[in-house]
């Protein structure tokens, strides 16, 4: 690998590191739970990108397998978080739509 390509990949890794920091900031400061899911998805994608670039820099193939496993785990994490959000929203709707049981006092 040429020196120019090596420096170029190092710059890309630096930019990805800054983007990871911004994603973490977005995850912490996001007002809604969906913002946190999007940030988690971004972190997973950026993590896979970093792993692939490191594999190219180091010239090893087995690191790409680690990147593939990380991508699958990131995808499953987002699916689980979305399922959790869906169940949470459905529970809130069911509680809001449930008729009163008669145990509560009726205010007039």
Q: Which residues contact 17 (CB under 8 A, 6 or more apart)?
A: 50
pTM for this structure? 0.75
Query: Is the separation of the CB atoms in 15 and 42 below 8 Å?
Result: no
HSE value, Cβ hemisphere, 13 Å, CA-based, for 102? 0
For the chain, 108 residues long, give each residue's pLDDT as a single digit of tens.
789 989 999 999 999 999 999 999 998 998 888 888 889 899 999 999 999 999 999 988 899 999 999 999 999 988 988 898 888 888 888 888 877 666 655 555
User: Could you identify the residue written with the tokens 């145990």?
Assistant: 103
For the chain, the structural domain boundaries read 3-97
CA distance linking residue 6 with residue 57, whole number of Å: 7
- Per-residue H/E/C for the chain: CCHHHHHHHHHHHHHHHHHHHHHHHHHHHCCCHHHHHHHHHHHHHHHHHHHHHHHHHHCCCHHHHHHHHHHHHHHHHHHHHHHHHHHHHHHHHHHHHCCCCCCCCCCC
């Amino acid at each position: 690998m040429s020196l120019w390509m090596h420096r170029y990949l190092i710059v890309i890794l630096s930019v990805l590191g800054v983007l990871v920091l911004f994603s973490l900031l977005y995850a912490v400061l996001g007002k809604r739970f969906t913002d946190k899911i999007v940030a988690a998805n971004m972190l997973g994608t950026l993590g896979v990108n970093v792993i692939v670039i490191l594999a190219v820099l180091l010239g090893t193939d087995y690191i790409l397998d680690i990147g593939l496993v990380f991508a699958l785990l990131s995808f499953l994490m987002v699916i689980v978080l979305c399922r959790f959000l869906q169940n949470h929203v459905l529970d809130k709707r069911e509680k809001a739509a449930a008729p009163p049981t008669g145990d509560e006092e009726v205010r007039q």
